Structure 1
Amino acid sequence: MITKAPARKPLLLAPMEGLLDFVLRDVLTRVGGVDRCVSEFIRVTGSLLPDKVFLRYLPELRNGGRTLAGVPVRAQLLGSDPVSMAENAARLAALGPEGIDLNFGCPARTVNRHGGGAALLREPEVIAAVVAAVRRAVPAHLPVSAKMRLGYDDAGRARECAQAMEQGGACELVVHARTKADGYRPPAYWERIPEIREAVAIPVVANGEIWTVADALRCRGVSGCDALMLGRGMVADPGLALAIRAQDVGQGAFALPWAALLPQLARFWQLVCEDLEPRQRAGRLKQWLNLLRRRYPEAQRAFDEVRVMTEQRAIGAWVARAVELAATAGGRAPAGPAA
């Protein structure tokens, strides 16, 4: 008898403005376990954006819409005008992204004040119009998905908003299980996702407060979603997707050691220095080390050392020395499940 292998449960890498950009996408997909990424949102305010804007947010468009590790990247657009969104989606589609995602979840005041992001969760009819316009504007083979929160002030219209996205032609829906009013404060209300799943026939992906394997398993159980989107949890623990994957295939616990992460930290610093302005570089490394402290005790010591540095040369020397010391100590990554 031939035993059918269990279906792979998708793990997506979240878009996070100012944090999870193309630099971290490159590094985290090199670690492995991620099936698909979504870019930071590209804001559409009425004008037709030039190609250089799309390429700035998604340099992966020069690599067939994939990270250098081969993971596809879906481009995210944010806006409220159906015509402008459609025109920009058509231009973006010509550059070859894996698909187009629409942002109906950003809680930023500036975005919401101009009617974008989570503000549209008060207007399901506008959501439907935006999704439908984008769906008509791009080739039929190109996926159009959407990301939403539970609502603006409350979750009273969550089902209605999800149905508007489906009716507009979205093929997949990611639900960040908090309202705009909740911001990023824990907890995430995974228990509200089943009613959204019941309201639509398209796949639903659960998102929010998934920091550990235990969180991922609990989220799946509560939400009923096999597919998960990982955000800050993956940034804080770059081995999280591989650890979840190990559980899925029955390989037991998996942990990415600090010594094995250090070469990726060096890769991150290299990309930061190549692609970001000098004034941004030190801050980006400190930002990542700050989150890594949640998972790695060694990151606390690293953060304390780097925090007082401002010169690129000094930070580069620190990174090179840390990698060299780890290599000398023989730090290697354990074998993980298939990415």
Structure 2
Amino acid sequence: MEGLADFWVRRALTDVGTYDWCVSEFVRVSGELLPPRVFYRWCPELRDGARTRSGTPVHLQLLGSDPVSMADNAAQAVALGAPAIDLNFGCPAKIVNRHGGGAILLDEPERVHAVTRAVRAAVPAHIPVSVKMRLGNEDMDLALDNALGVQEAGAAWLTVHGRTKRQGYRPPAYWDRIGAIRERVTLPVIANGEIWTLEDARRCQAESGCQDLMLGRGAVANPMLTREVAGGEPTGWTEVLAVLRAFGADIVGTGSEAQLCGRVKQWLSYSRRRWPQAGPLMESVKRETRLADLRAILERESGGNNDGQVVSF
């Protein structure tokens, strides 16, 4: 979710969805104590009680491999107001893995354990330390070793993405393998991966045995997915358009016109995974470089779609 679930997207999603908490983009730790400005850059919510505009708590995520440096930076983050620390052992990005971070560490359960234990010891006892991991790096052989290691190190809960690094984001996600981990550990396990719809969420819960879910790209494709999972009304296309238009209004002044249009189009592109209407709309705006023009197109679209809803801006 690096480069996607930033401050502005977190704000937009938590404005319309019900989340217990959300997680920042990862703060990369590479051997030095980072200054406060770095934490504020990746998690601006630290300046507002570590909550989004809607009041949703934001946990700060760290990515790195050196136990001492990770512990020092976790303590720094907590001093700045982070209510919880999440450790990233799941990132599949090649550049991250080449520098000894993310999913490649799953080949070294002892290192995963050491980092988790060091961070747990460095922050106050009331601050949760959680871990996010994949089922493995190249294969799933060490999944349970990693899970048991972070449990022994004192992690408060474990979030598991149901694929290895090699499998990337190719369907399917192996929710049953998350369940195999859940059956062997005593700490809470949260399931993640390939949850795009309410039906996906229910199947993931059934196959993994996990009642708690972490949503990533699926929440961007359908900003009201959490409402549907909680038993609320199905989402309408115009509701999605309203979120995109509000997002476009929020980000005015935070970059160049072309950059801001790119942000809205990036979100719209994800929407194609869930909404057939998003494809033709994406074609109509893909060359737009002025945010006002792009928002005007979204405005017209929201007044003339076929789901019977009209949303004013």
TM-score bracket, shorter-length normalisation:
over 0.9
* 1:331 CA displacement: 2.2
How far, CA to CA, are the matches of 2:275 and 2:145 in structure 1? 42
User: Shift of residue 325 of structure 1?
Assistant: 6.8
Contact 1:149 / 1:176 at 8 angstroms: preserved in 2? yes
1:275 pairs with 238, 242, 254, which one? Answer: 254
The match for 2:242 is: 263
Could you tell me which residue of structure 1 aligns to residue 152 of structure 2? 167
Aligned residues: 310
Give the counterpart letter for 2:38 in structure 1.
V
Q: CA RMSD in A?
A: 1.9
Aligned to 1:35: 20
Residues 303, 311 of structure 2: 8 Å contact kept: no
Give the aligned partner of residue 264 of structure 2.
285
Cα displacement string for residues 28-52 of structure 1 (whole angstroms, at most 9, x for unaligned residues): 1111222211111111011211111
Query: Cα deviation per residue 1:185-212 (whole Å; 9 max; x = unaligned)?
Result: 1100111112211222110000000111
1:79 aligns with 2:58: no
SS of residue in 2 equivalent to 1:275: coil
Superposed CA offset, 1:261-280 (max 9, x none) = 33321221123333345552
Equivalent of residue 297 in structure 2, options 296, 309, 318 = 318
Greater Cα shift, 275-284 or 212-221: 275-284
Alignment check: 8 A CA contact 2:244 2:267 kept: no
Task: Give the C-alpha shift of residue 83 in structure 1.
Answer: 0.8
Aligned letter for 1:58?
C
Q: Which moved more, 1:307-316 or 1:232-241?
A: 307-316
Counterpart-to-counterpart distance in 2, 1:325 and 1:198: 50
Match of 1:5 in 2: none
Match of 2:230 in 1: 245
- Residue aligning to 1:3: none
- CA change 1:330–1:199 in 2 (3 A) is closer
- Change in Cα spacing, 1:307 to 1:42, as seen in structure 2 (3 Å) is same
1: CA distance between counterparts of 2:25 and 2:105? 18
CA distance in 2, matches of 1:89, 1:123: 21
Q: Which of 305-314 and 73-82 deviates more? A: 305-314
Q: Distance in 2 between matches of 1:274 and 1:140?
A: 40
User: Distance in 1 between the 2:93 and 2:165 partners?
Assistant: 9
Query: Per-residue deviation at 1:324?
Result: 7.0
Q: Is the 8 A contact 2:134 2:160 kept in 1?
A: yes
Letter in 2 for 1:33: T
Is the aligned partner of 1:104 residue 2:73?
Answer: no
Q: Go from structure 1 to structure 2 and tell me whether the alpha carbon gap of 1:312 and 1:260 turns closer, same or farther (over 3 Å shift).
A: closer
Partner of 2:103: 118
Deviation of 1:244 after TM superposition, in Å, equals 0.7
State the Cα distance separating 1:306 from its structure 2 match.
Answer: 1.3
- Give the letter aligned to residue 215 of structure 1: D
Provide the residue aligned with 1:155 in structure 2. 140
* 3-state DSSP of counterpart to 2:9: helix
Question: Residues of 1 paired with 2:239 and 2:137: CA distance?
Answer: 41
Residue segments in structure 2 that go unaligned for 5+ positions in a row:
none
Alpha carbons of 1:330 and 1:118: their partners in 2 closer, same or farther (altered >3 Å)? closer
The separation in 2 between residues aligned to 1:151 and 1:293, in whole angstroms, is 29
Does the 8 Å CA contact 2:87/2:129 hold for their aligned counterparts? yes
| TM-score, L = length of structure 2 | 0.93
Q: CA 1:195 to 1:307, structure 2 compared with 1: closer, same or farther past 3 Å?
A: same
Aligned to 1:295: 274
Post-superposition CA distance 1:199-241 (Å, at most 9, x none) = 2211000000011111111111110100001111111111111
Question: Which contiguous aligned blocks of 4+ residues in structure 1 show a shift greater than 6 angstroms?
Answer: none
Find the aligned partners of 1:106 and 1:178 in 2 and give their Cα distance.
11
Contact kept, 8 Å, 1:266 with 1:323, in 2: the verdict is: no
Separation (CA, whole Å) in 2 of partners of 1:53 and 1:272: 20
Q: 2:75 aligns with which of 90, 111, 115?
A: 90
Q: CA deviation at 1:169?
A: 1.3
Distance 2:256 2:59 in 1: 25
How far the C-alpha of 1:98 sits from its partner, in A, is: 2.5
Shift in Å, 1:284: 1.2
Please, which of 56, 60, 68 is the counterpart of residue 53 of structure 2? 68
1:308 maps to what in 2?
A: 287
Percent identity of equivalent pairs: 53
Deviation at 1:148, TM superposition (A): 0.4
2:121 matches 1:136: yes
Please, which runs of 5 or more residues in structure 1 have no aligned partner? 1-15, 334-339
In structure 1, C-alpha distance between the alignment counterparts of 2:238 and 2:174, rounded to whole Å: 35
For 2:85 and 2:121, how far apart are their aligned partners in 1? 12
- The residue that corresponds to 1:236 in the other structure is 221
**Could you give the per-residue CA deviations for residues 43-83 of structure 1, whole angstroms, max 9, x where no partner exists?**
10112111111111111112211110111111100000011
